[in-house]
Chains A and B, each alone.
Chain A
Amino acid sequence: MDFSQLHHLLKPDQILTGAAAMRGYDCDAYTVDRSAPAVVVLPESTQEVAAVVTWCHHNKVPFTARGAGTGLSGGALPALGGVVISTKRLTKILAIDAENHRLKAQTGIANRKISDEVQHLGLHFAPDPSSQSVATLGGNIAENAGGPHTLKYGVTVQHILGLTTVLPNGEIVEFGNLTGHEPGFDWLGILCGSEGTLGIVTEAWVKLTPLPLHVATALISFPSIRSATECVASIIANGVLPAALEMMDKGIMDAVREAFNLQFHPDSLALLLVECDGAIQDQVEAELKTIQQVCEQFGCIETTIAANENERAKLWMARKKGVGAMGRLAPTIVTHDCVIPRSKLPEMLDFVNAVGAKHGLGVANIFHAGDGNLHPFFYFDDREPGVIKKVVEAGEEIIRKCITLGGSITGEHGVGVEKLDAMPLMFTPDDLNYQFKLKAVFDPESTCNPCKVLPNQKSCNEHRQRWRGTAW
C-alpha cells in the first residue's frame, strides 16, 4: 500500500513513519501484545479524521484510533497494522455552556483538563478514571470509563449528550442531542464502550455536574481483607450510597509506604477509602456515621476522617498513587479488570491471592470495592523466562472465576485483544452473533479497529499469533 498518498490529506508534520514512532505506537498500556502500524497520523479536526478514514475505506486499509495510550486491554493496538489515528492534536474545548451545565470538546483532550476548565464555575466532569490527568475524553468514551466516583455518579455514557463521529466509511454523523434524551435507537449507548470499533468519535458534548457542596472522607483500616470486603457489601445493603468506596490491600500499602512514606496502622491488612458528598452537610455526615458504625461491626481498627481539603487529598494519596507506586515492587505490572457482585468480594479476593501464589506471582489489589470492580495487579520481572505465560494463565483463571460468580470480564478497561478468548465464556454463540450483526451495520469491511471486542474475526486469528509472539 502506498501510504505516501496521505501526504495529500495532511501536513508533513502530521504523519509519522519512522521506526521509533512505530515502536511507540505498537501497544497501549497493555504491553503483552504488540503490533506496529504502517503509519501514524495526527489530525487536528473532524474533517481531517474523515479524510484519512475515507482514504482507508477506499483502500481497505485497517485503522485504529488512539488517545493517550493508557488503555489496559490492548484496545489501541493496531492489530492488523495499517493507520493509527492519534487524537493527540484534537484537544480544543469548543464551547462551554455553564448555564446549561454542558461543554463541547474535541476528544483528544485529557479528562482532567475538562474539570480544570470549569472548576471556577463550580462544575466538573464526573467520570474520573485514575489515569485522568492524561487519559483522553475519546478514550473514556471508547471504554465507557468509570473511576472511583462511579458508584454514585455513574460511568461515562451517563455524562455524554452528543457525539460527532466519523463512521468507518468516512461519513461524519452527529449522534445524540442536548436534552439528554435521544429519541429512537440509543446510539450514544452503543458508541460509548464500543472500544473504537464502530467509528471514531472526534467531538463530544458532555454534561457538567455541580461540585458537591459538602464532602466527608475517611480512611478506615481493617485487620483482614475478609473483614473489609464483607463490610463493603453490608454498607450497600444498609441503604447507604457513598460517592466512593475504594479498597486497597497490604501489597498496595507496602508500595505507597515505600514510595511516599505513608504510614498506616501496623495491624492493618486492608484499607477502605470512603467518601460521602451532597448538598446538605448533616446528611453527608450522617451517611459517614452510618458507614463508620457498619465498619465497627466488622472489626475495623482505625478510622481517620479528613478535617479539611488538604487532609482529604492526603487520604486519597494512597489510592491515587497506589498504581504508580507498584513500580517499587517489581519492574513490570499487569492490571486485570473484572466485576463481580459485591457480595462475592470476600470469596473472590481469597481466590485472587491463591492464584498469585500458585503461579509464583506477586499480587496487590486496589479497586472500586463499591462497584465490585476488581483490579488485581500481578507484579513480576518480565525478563524471567516464561513469566508472561504465567501472568496470562493467572489472568484467565481470574476471569473464569468472575464469570462463575455471576460477574463480568471487564468493568472499565474493555475487552480489547486481551479478553477476546473470554467472550465466549460469557456469551453464547447466539449472543455473539447479534453483536456481530451490530458491527456489520457500522463496519461491514471490518477495517475500523479490527480484531477487538468480538472473538474469531476474519483474518485476525493468524495475526494474533504474531502479536503474542513478540512477548512470548
Chain B
Amino acid sequence: MVAPTTISSLCEWVNSNSNVQVSCESPYDILEQGATLSLENLNQIEEWRLEDQLIKVQSGIKLSDLNKKLQAEGFEIPIGLNEADQNASLASFLSINLPHWNMQAGTWRDWITAIRFVSADGRLIRSGADVVKSVTGFDLHKLIIGSRFTLGIPVSVTIVVRPFQNKPTYPPIHADLPEGCQLILADPSYLKTLPPSTIQHLDLESKLALVQWTGDNHKGSVWTSNHGIFNLPTFPPPIATLMHKLKEQFDPHHKLNPGGMGIF
C-alpha cells in the first residue's frame, strides 16, 4: 500500500495504476482488504480563515486533529461526531457522507464548499469555491461526497465551520441503529428529551422515516449502517442507470475502488 505525501505524487500514482482501492483509517470502511492507497500522509491544514469561518484541509487529516485546532479558536465542525469517530479521517466520512443523529446539522454535503479530487486518469479536478456560497458551475463535489471513492479521490476539502457551542447534554441515541429506533418507539416520552431537530424527520404515524433509517439494517443492506455489501436493487432503475452512466464518464476503466458502490 502506498501513502503519498503530496497531492502531485498521488496524481502520478493514480494515473499509473489500474487498481486504486483507498484505505482511510475508518471504522466504517469495508474496503480495507486489498487496499492499495492510504491518504494518511495527506493530513495538512492548507488554509484557515477565521474571519470567513472556512478551513481548507487535506482529506487524510484525522477529525480529532482538525477539531482540536478549531476548538482552540472557538470553532467546530458543524457535524457532530461520536467519540469513536474522532480517530477516523475526514476522507472516510466524506466517502460515505456519514450523517449524524442530529439531523439539523445536515450532512457533510451541506458544509463542504469545494473539493479538489484526483480523477481516474490522475488529474487534479476542482469543484466549488473557497467561499461560503457559490453557484458557479455544476457542484461535482456534491457527487464526490458519498460516492465511496468510485468517481474520484477527494484530496483537498474546504469546510464551513461554526462557532463552538456548549451543546446541551442529550441522551446518546443512534437513529440509524435498530436499538435506537426501538427505544424511540417504545417510549414516546423519550422524544421530549431530544432536540427538535432530531425528531423532525421521524414520521411517528407511518414510521416512514424510521423505516428508511432502519429497515435497510434489518434487511442487511448497508446504506444506513455503512457496513456490509451494497445492493443494486436499493435504487430505482432510472437512478441506477444514471449512476452507471456517470461511472462510465468519470471512470470508464473502473479502476477507482472497484466494487465500491456495489453496482459497478
| A residues at B contact (CB < 8 Å) | 97, 99-101, 143-144, 146, 150, 154-155, 157-158, 167, 171, 173-175, 177-181, 183-187, 189-190, 192-194, 210, 233-234, 236-237, 239-241, 339-343, 368, 371-373, 406-415, 419, 423, 426-428, 430-432, 434-435, 437-442, 453-454
Contacts of A240 in B (CB 8 A): 163
18 further A-B pairs in the complex, CB-CB below 8 A; given A173-B236, A178-B209, A408-B133 = A100-B201, A167-B238, A180-B107, A181-B99, A183-B224, A186-B97, A189-B139, A190-B143, A237-B51, A339-B129, A368-B133, A408-B136, A410-B134, A434-B125, A434-B140, A437-B250, A441-B245, A453-B137
**Count of A-B contacts with CB under 8 A?**
202
Interface residues on B, range: 35 or more
| B residues at A contact (CB < 8 Å) | 49-54, 74-75, 97, 99, 103, 106-107, 109-110, 119, 123-127, 129-140, 142-143, 145-147, 151, 162-164, 196, 200-205, 208-209, 212-213, 223-224, 234-236, 238-239, 242-243, 245-246, 249-250, 261
What is the minimal beta-carbon distance from B104 to any residue of chain A, in angstroms? Answer: 9
Given A174-B236, A210-B196, A239-B164: A184 touches B139 (CB 8 Å cut-off): no
Are B140 and A435 in touch, CB under 8 angstroms? yes
Are B143 and A185 in touch, CB under 8 angstroms? yes
Contacts of B109 in A (CB 8 A): 186, 189
A237 to B48, CA, bound (A): 12
Contacts of B246 in A (CB 8 A): 185, 438, 441
A432 to B107, CA, bound (A): 26
Contacts of A187 in B (CB 8 A): 239, 242
Contact of A371 among B123, B133, B137, B245 (CB under 8 A): B133
Are A371 and B208 in touch, CB under 8 angstroms? no
Are A428 and B143 in touch, CB under 8 angstroms? no
Are A178 and B201 in touch, CB under 8 angstroms? yes
**Closest B-chain residue to A432, C-beta based?**
B137
Contacts of B137 in A (CB 8 A): 415, 423, 426-427, 431-432, 435, 453-454
* Max chain B C-beta neighbours (<10 A), residue from A158, A184, A412: A184
Are B239 and A340 in touch, CB under 8 angstroms? no
Given A408-B136, A411-B133, A437-B249: A341 touches B143 (CB 8 Å cut-off): no
Contact of B136 among A171, A241, A373, A426 (CB under 8 A): A426
A439 to B235, CA, bound (A): 21
What is the minimal beta-carbon distance from A160 to any residue of chain B, in angstroms? Answer: 11
